[in-house]
Amino acid sequence: MPDTLQLQVTLKYSTPRIWRRLRVSSDATLAELHHTLQLCMGWSDAHLHCFRGSQGQVFGDPEQDPDGMLDWIDEHQVRLGDVLVSDKHRLYYDYDFGDGWEHEIRLEKRLPALADEQLPRCLHAVGFCPPEDVGGIPGFAEFLHALNDPQHPEHEHSCSWWGSTEFPQGNPAVDQINTQLAALGGVGHQVHRRNAQSLDDFAGLSPNAVHALLYQTFDCPELLQWQAPNTAELCQQVPLLRMLASLLDALGDQGVKLTARGNLPLAVVRAMLTAGDPQQLSRYPEALTSIRSELDCVPVHFAHVMADLCGLVQVRKGRLLARKRFVALGRNNQWGTLYLELLECILRTFNWAWLDHYDDCYGIRTTAPFMFWLLQCHAGDWREEGDWLEDWLRAFPTLPMEARDRPYQSAREQVIYAMGHRLFSLFQWLGLVEQQAHPSSRDKFAVAPLFMVRATPLLGQLARFNIPPG
């Protein structure tokens, strides 16, 4: 049974000191603690937040960092008792990065849990928290000065902004805080139960599973396990790996001289294209028959970009050279290791807008891991491209909101085009899907060609889902 942790939470640099004494379950997540702190301190949860551990860790909500630039540890996956182990440890809660409200959380006691004790619970509350957007501790001090001094030049403005001529004195009512905490706990349990239930819109996954799939794609073995064998056979199954193997052969020990624009020589481009097989690289392989430079061949150019992003190659005095790690991976047939590295780089680092220049559709890459599940739900089934995309949009209906208005295309049309072009191009190069023209496309009067898409057997071999009971 989890313990009960007694915490003292202090708003740093506040004078007089503003603080709370709380009791919280050691099993509570940092995400749950965030909501508890917001209510107990009196904030309105209108700004970004994060937790900082005493060992330098930073915990936060991945939804507030969709591009992963802040490199947060998911606060939903971290238990408070695992962070505050003893009274020597400190946890810091930062709220509103503009105003910079910093809270110190100190473990006072670790107590045995009582079956009838309401948790979380506030024991003491001293001082009212400052108003939102007041400008941090210095701004709060200036605000109080102006509010309390009728002669202050900002007095009228401060009173109007605050809605009163007085800031509350004394201490918040603990009973009122605990009543609100009890309601918060009830809502929290309801939300937890709802998020654990499978939904039709998520093709049978629960919201919790979808969250883990999107933000812990390679670090959630209880949901999804990756098994990429280090074999030459894997290399032969994946067009991207075949192109990289061809590049590695071309580089040899001396590398190759790049063009004046930094592109691969045409002979290398053609060799990589042949290795990748135009039929497996493009819906329109005939468009790859007459190329004059690397930039004319998007799949090869993509392979070059990925080799650079993954640190497989380097440029020295105008020559492209294979790094020792790239040579070792190829020599030892460690294609599975390289494959997972490439896949993670594509999902986390590579800019998908490079493929079509719809630079405002960033949510497509974020939600793309959902397609691993969707493709496996229809394993082996040929489906129209539009059916796949409609299922994807059903799960994430807000994606069109990211597109800007264009006179010739609705936001929904833009996003659907970008979704299909980006995902199915990348997944085809990764050997995860295959495509063929729809039978109706053979009609010479068809206005636009339709394509059928299905998952390859490779996807089922690489990604093994362990779906928890719904």
Query: Which whole number is the average pLDDT over 131-147?
Result: 93
For the chain, the C-alpha Rg in angstroms (whole number) is 28
- For position 445, what pLDDT does the model report? 39
Question: Kind and range of the H or E element at 25?
Answer: strand 18-25
Please state, in angstroms and rounded to a whole number, the distance separating the CA atoms of residues 418 and 361: 8
Domain boundaries, the chain: 4-128+168-195, 232-333, 356-465
Question: Is 60 exceeded by the pLDDT of residue 447?
Answer: no
Q: Residue 371 is which amino acid? A: M
Question: Kind and range of the H or E element at 434?
Answer: strand 433-437
- For position 407, what pLDDT does the model report? 83
Angle between helix 266-276 and helix 298-309 axes, rounded to 10 deg: 100
Please state, in angstroms and rounded to a whole number, the distance separating the CA atoms of residues 288 and 290: 6
Residue 185 — very low, low, confident or very high, per pLDDT cuts 50/70/90?
low
Please state, in angstroms and rounded to a whole number, the distance separating the CA atoms of residues 39 and 431: 49
- For position 444, what pLDDT does the model report? 44
Question: Is 60 exceeded by the pLDDT of residue 186?
Answer: no
Is 425 or 288 the better-scoring residue by pLDDT?
A: 425
Considering the segment(s) 232-333 as one domain, its CATH architecture is Orthogonal Bundle (1.10)
Fold adopted by 4-128+168-195: 3.10.290
**Do the Cβ atoms of 10 and 119 come closer than 8 Å?**
no
Please state, in angstroms and rounded to a whole number, the distance separating the CA atoms of residues 197 and 299: 40
At residue 136's C-alpha, the angle toward residues 131 and 141, to 5°, is 75
Residue 470 — very low, low, confident or very high, per pLDDT cuts 50/70/90?
very low
Tokens of 36: 């508890």
How close are the terminal C-alpha atoms of the chain, in Å? 24
Q: Do the domains spanning 232-333 and 356-465 agree at the CATH topology level?
A: yes
Considering the segment(s) 356-465 as one domain, its CATH architecture is Orthogonal Bundle (1.10)
* Inter-CA distances, 353 with 57, 64, 290, 361, 423, Å: 31, 21, 25, 8, 11
Question: Is 90 exceeded by the pLDDT of residue 126?
Answer: yes
Query: Which whole number is the average pLDDT over 104-119?
Result: 87
Residue ranges in 196-296 assigned as alpha helix (H)? 207-215, 232-237, 239-251, 266-276, 278-281
Please state, in angstroms and rounded to a whole number, the distance separating the CA atoms of residues 253 and 321: 8
Q: Highest-confidence range of 67-76, 156-165, 441-450, by mean pLDDT?
A: 156-165
